[in-house]
């Protein structure tokens, strides 16, 4: 595995408020980040996203699974666990990373099911989504 990619994956797996200070070694200054809820531009905005995660969630943690890498791109499967309002949660997803020439992340695109990860856990919306999923299955 590319040594830069291996270092970045270790950073994600051990991410904490303290290690967040090392974000400049992981992302380029003009890096982009996109997930089902937002599109961010710049390392500062990405750092704020992670800082907000630590403020709003208890015990957030990424567990890195399968990694497929080729050239300057990698697809990483992960499980994100956390506690919210006293309830343990987990989201399974994947990330497409594009590395810059210096090995840092230039583009980060997360793929995960927002319905399963968030909306299905809401009382009224979740019940409706579960009914729709059963009918479509």
pLDDT tens string 11-63: 999 999 999 999 999 999 999 999 988 999 999 999 999 999 999 999 999 99
Torsion-angle region of 59 (φ positive above 0: left; ψ -120 to 50: alpha; else: beta): left
State how many domains the chain has: 1
Structure tokens at 134: 């059963």
CA angle in degrees (0–180, nearest 5) for 52-99-93: 50
Residue 39 falls inside a structural domain: yes
Residue 78 falls inside a structural domain: yes
Residue 127 falls inside a structural domain: no
Residue 33 falls inside a structural domain: yes
pLDDT at residue 30, rounded to an integer: 98
Question: Which residues, at least 6 apart from 18, have a Cβ–Cβ distance to it below 8 Å?
Answer: none
Torsion-angle region of 99 (φ positive above 0: left; ψ -120 to 50: alpha; else: beta): beta
| pTM of the entire predicted model | 0.83
**Which CATH number does the domain housing residue 48 bear?**
3.10.450.50
Strand partners, 107: 32, 98
Range of the structural domain that residue 24 is part of: 3-112
Sign of CA dihedral 69, 74, 77, 79: positive
Residue 12 falls inside a structural domain: yes
Mean pLDDT value of segment 125-137: 58
pLDDT of 119 higher than 50: no
């Amino acid at each position: 595995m590319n040594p830069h990619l291996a270092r970045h994956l270790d950073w994600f797996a051990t991410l904490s408020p303290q290690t967040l200070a090392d974000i400049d070694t992981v992302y380029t200054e003009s890096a982009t980040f996109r997930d089902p809820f937002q599109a961010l531009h710049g390392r500062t905005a990405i750092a704020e996203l992670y800082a907000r995660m630590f403020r709003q969630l208890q015990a957030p943690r990424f567990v890195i699974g399968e990694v497929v890498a080729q050239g300057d791109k990698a697809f990483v499967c992960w499980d994100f666990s956390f506690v919210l309002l006293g309830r343990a949660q987990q989201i399974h997803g994947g990330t497409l990373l594009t590395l810059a020439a210096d090995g840092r992340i230039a583009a980060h695109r997360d793929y995960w099911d927002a319905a399963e990860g968030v909306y299905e856990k809401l009382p009224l919306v979740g019940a409706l989504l579960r009914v729709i999923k059963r009918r479509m299955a």
